[in-house]
Structure 1
Amino acid sequence: MTVIIMAGGRSRRMGFNKSFLKYGDKTFIEHQITKLNKIFHEIIISANDRSIYDNLHLPIVPDVIPEKGPLSGICAGLMYTKNSHAFVVACDMPFINEKVILYLRRYIVGYDVVVPQTNRGLEPMHAFYSTNCIQPMYRCLEEGKLRIVDFFSEVRVKIVDEKEFGGLDASGQSLINLNTPEEYKKYCGNN
């Protein structure tokens, strides 16, 4: 199975590339790769600037349609993979939890999207997508519907409430993404 690490964002709120923020002795993206290598046999980086990720020695896939946001990156990653499903994770989620990911993965049979839901809402940047999503995603991109959830009504979606897997994540942080310097300091300041 495949994982697509979404590293193509502009990081406007953080002010610099979040992939290279430090968590312990590794960057966010290195930390994710180390964890995800235990679960997935293929790792793809979704990014438009290949050169800054060359040192990771992984496939780097640019957006299918430039300047259309994460939906375009997910679509491109799904077009690249030879597997039927891919797990998509944002590069600014350093606390990913293997048990939570495996819990979500158990629902992929019969569904095109398996997405967790927290008190913040759906978490589409920490979800599984099937290649059946490619055409609906592409249509949304062409129509200017750029929110990831815009194509959900056209596919089979399984929403998994955080209460179902909360016991697997003792820290309660596996679905937290860090968008601002303040959030980074709050969660990673003492590592």
Structure 2
Amino acid sequence: MSEKKEITTILLAGGQSKRMGKDKAFLKLNGKTFFRIIIEKISKYSNQIIISTNKDKNLYLPDISDLTIHPLFVKDKNPYSGPLNGIISCIPYVKNKFIFIATCDTPLLNPDLIPFLSDKINNYDAVIPVINEKKQFLNTIYTKNALNIANNLYSAGKRSLYAWTNLLNVKEIHQKELEAVKNSLLSYWSINTPEDYTRLLDIWHKYY
């Protein structure tokens, strides 16, 4: 990063994990839960971590009790109402201008994406990666202004990430540019189903 930025990371951990059948935050990879893996990674570049969840924080704290990291846990205003609800629920607690919005189901996240993307935000409201022509609204960087726009949109009864980002001044980063960060594309592989999880474990044991 050419200029150090103070970063808040909002970690979305409030989903129901319906397709997985169990809480994805507590699935394990190489002996660690997805939750702990992501916490360790985002703490590298974040001076504030907020966990958006619908469960008691005491379910999560034992998993990171040995770390010198003290995230803030925030309950969703409307439990299980989607990622935009989780994001806007955290707004009153965000202390930085730049916000990385992460998700618990991408354990292969490369945290070096945080400075890479924040370096490109300049005067934009958000930096949106585009992979295989699909926009990636999570595991990317936003500004506090973007979150305020999300809050207004949600108050108007709209909950779509598409609708939100369509209102923002967005910098798109395409796949070829993202590949400058090692294994960056794997950062956007969401482990949503038992089949995804089995494939992840197979790949991990084969290549890592």
In the superposition, the TM-score normalised over structure 1's length comes to 0.91
Task: Extract unaligned runs of 5+ from structure 2.
Answer: 1-6, 65-69
Identify the residue that residue 29 of structure 2 maps to in structure 1: 23
Task: Extract unaligned runs of 5+ from structure 1.
Answer: none
Give distance in 2, aligned partners of 1:144 and 1:90.
23
Q: Residue 197 of structure 2 is aligned with which of 161, 166, 184?
A: 184
Mean alpha-carbon deviation: is it higher for 46-55 or for 172-181? 46-55
Identify the residue that residue 74 of structure 1 maps to in structure 2: 87
SS in structure 2 of the partner of residue 94 of structure 1 = coil
Mean alpha-carbon deviation: is it higher for 160-169 or for 9-18? 160-169
Mean alpha-carbon deviation: is it higher for 60-69 or for 25-34? 60-69
1:10–1:17 Cα contact (<8 Å) kept: yes
1:9 maps onto 2:22 in alignment: no
Give distance in 2, aligned partners of 1:86 and 1:126.
10
Letter in 2 for 1:25: G
Give distance in 2, aligned partners of 1:153 and 1:75.
17
SS in structure 1 of the partner of residue 159 of structure 2 = coil
Letter in 2 for 1:183: D
Mean alpha-carbon deviation: is it higher for 31-40 or for 86-95? 31-40
State the shift of 1:120 in Å: 5.4
Give distance in 2, aligned partners of 1:151 and 1:25.
37
Task: Name the Cα RMSD after superposition.
Answer: 1.8
Identify the residue that residue 3 of structure 2 maps to in structure 1: none
Letter in 1 for 2:165: F
Give distance in 2, aligned partners of 1:46 and 1:63.
6
Give distance in 1, aligned partners of 2:133 and 2:157.
25
Give distance in 1, aligned partners of 2:173 and 2:193.
27
Give distance in 1, aligned partners of 2:156 and 2:78.
12
1:47 maps onto 2:60 in alignment: no
Give distance in 2, aligned partners of 1:53 and 1:68.
21
2:98–2:144 Cα contact (<8 Å) kept: yes
1:79–1:134 Cα contact (<8 Å) kept: no
Distance change (3 Å), C-alpha of 1:105 and 1:27? same
The one-character-per-residue Cα deviations of 1:32-66 (angstroms, maximum 9, x if unpaired) are 11111111111111102123224344211122344
Give distance in 2, aligned partners of 1:109 and 1:188.
38
- The alignment covers a number of residue pairs equal to 191
Letter in 1 for 2:110: N
1:160 maps onto 2:173 in alignment: yes
Give distance in 1, aligned partners of 2:60 and 2:11.
12
Letter in 2 for 1:108: I
In the superposition, the TM-score normalised over structure 2's length comes to 0.84
In the TM superposition, what are the counterparts of 1:99-118 in structure 2 within 5 Å? Answer: 99-118=112-131
Report percent identity of matched pairs: 34
State the shift of 1:74 in Å: 1.1
Q: Residue 174 of structure 1 is aligned with which of 187, 193, 205?
A: 187
State the shift of 1:144 in Å: 2.9
Identify the residue that residue 4 of structure 2 maps to in structure 1: none
2:113–2:184 Cα contact (<8 Å) kept: no
1:78–1:130 Cα contact (<8 Å) kept: no
Give distance in 2, aligned partners of 1:186 and 1:130.
35
1:78–1:86 Cα contact (<8 Å) kept: no
